[in-house]
């Protein structure tokens, strides 16, 4: 979704193992977690956009049930180069979720991405994954 998409894809290696901060990185009282940030573009290939009501329904029906303990949604404007080489500029939603990084949580992230792509005919959803330490 952003210009960084090709850079992010080039530097990623596929792994089914959970991503965790190295031992000693987290302070006492912190929890070792995985942070996934998902970038959902609102442009549609036919020239329309994902309307606010459609986005809210997706958030309520697809994302929230998979991560009911919490998440953050930020409105953004992004740009990226699509498969035909055209620069797309679009309103976007950035959803950040902290989770354990286990296969179940990672599977939920994949389900969310697949559903948005299918429902709104999207070419790509950017997923950014990092290990982190968190305290609630």
Residue 112 maps to a domain: yes
Residue 111 maps to a domain: yes
Residue 16 maps to a domain: no
Listed in order, strand segments (DSSP E) in 14-123 are 31-41, 72-81, 87-99
The whole-number average pLDDT for the span 93-104 is 97
| Rounded distance between C-alpha atoms, residue 90 and residue 66, angstroms | 26
CATH number at residue 124: 3.30.70.120
User: pLDDT at position 83, please?
Assistant: 86
Could you tell me if 18 and 102 are in contact, meaning their C-beta atoms sit under 8 angstroms apart? yes
**pLDDT greater than 50 at residue 14:** no
| Per-residue pLDDT tens digits for 68-89 | 999 999 999 999 898 899 998 9
Per the confidence metrics, is the pTM higher than 0.85? Answer: no
What is the pLDDT confidence band of residue 25, given thresholds at 50, 70 and 90? confident
- The number of folded domains in the chain is 1
Could you tell me if 88 and 44 are in contact, meaning their C-beta atoms sit under 8 angstroms apart? no
């Amino acid at each position: 979704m952003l210009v960084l998409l090709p850079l992010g894809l080039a530097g990623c290696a596929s792994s089914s193992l959970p991503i965790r901060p190295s031992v000693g990185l987290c302070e006492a009282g912190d929890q070792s977690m995985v942070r996934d940030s998902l970038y959902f573009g609102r442009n549609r290939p036919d020239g329309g956009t994902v309307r606010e009501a459609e986005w809210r329904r997706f958030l309520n029906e697809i994302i929230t049930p998979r991560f009911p303990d919490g998440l953050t949604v930020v409105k953004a404007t992004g740009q990226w180069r699509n498969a035909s080489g055209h620069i797309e500029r679009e309103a976007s939603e950035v959803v950040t979720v902290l989770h354990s990084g286990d296969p179940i949580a990672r599977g939920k992230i994949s389900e969310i991405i697949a559903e948005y792509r299918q429902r709104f005919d999207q070419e790509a959803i950017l997923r950014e994954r990092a290990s982190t330490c968190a305290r609630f």
